[in-house]
Amino acid sequence: MKISTRFSDSIHILAFINIYKGKVPLTSNTLASSIETSPVVVRRLMSALSKAGLINTKHGVAEPELAADPNDISLYDIFLAIEGDAPLFTIDERTNPECIVGGNIQETLNEFYNQAETAAKAKLAATSLEDVIETIKVKHAQKKAAQRKKD
């Protein structure tokens, strides 16, 4: 199955908390404005991030904080928090067991799909939230510079 925007929105939330901490109030409303979704969606994602131990939140207080250094949070940690063990590819589970193919395709594809998934997840595990935040900052600086030039 395709991985939903929940994953990208969660990365968004964590990056936002890190970049804007102390500069703007970190309410679910503020975050929702940046993501352009509803505050409830944000709170739902933050609840999952909190349960996974990636952020610390306090009921009633708009001061969420990262539970670890951005260098120590990988995209795969975030993926796990939000999608758990959701597979990237879907295997058709309902095939005819009487058939040589239908009776063995699941186990077979499971092996090969796992190889592909593990390769992708390894890349996610090798990318830290810090990498994402730095890239965001670089791209932002580039845009600002380009804008100045035009004036």
Partner DNA sequence: ACAACATGTAACTAAATAAATTACAATTTG
Partner DNA sequence: CAAATTGTAATTTATTTAGTTACATGTTGT
Binding site for DNA (CB under 7 A): 1-2, 4-6, 25-29, 37-41, 43-44, 46-47, 50, 57-62, 64, 90, 94
Collapsed DSSP state (helix, strand, coil) of residue 32 = helix
Tell me if 116 sits within 8 A of 89, measured CB to CB.
yes
Question: Distance between CA atoms of 23 and 64, rounded to whole angstroms?
Answer: 13
Which one of the spans 48-56, 63-71, 125-133 is the region binding its own copies (CB under 8 A)?
125-133
Report the Cα 48 to chain-centroid distance in Å.
11
- Nearest 5°: phi and psi at 96? -70, 110
* Rounded least distance, CB 117 to DNA, Å: 15
Query: Number of C-alpha atoms within 13 angstroms, CB side, residue 58?
Result: 5
Residue 132 sits in the site that holds its own copies (CB under 8 A): yes
The option from DNA, its own copies, none interacting with 10 (CB < 5 to 8 A, set by class) reads none
- Catalog residues that contact its own copies under the rule CB under 8 A: 1-5, 7-9, 11-12, 15-16, 19-20, 33-37, 75, 86-92, 94-96, 99-105, 107-109, 111-112, 115-117, 119-124, 127, 131-132, 135-137, 139-140, 143
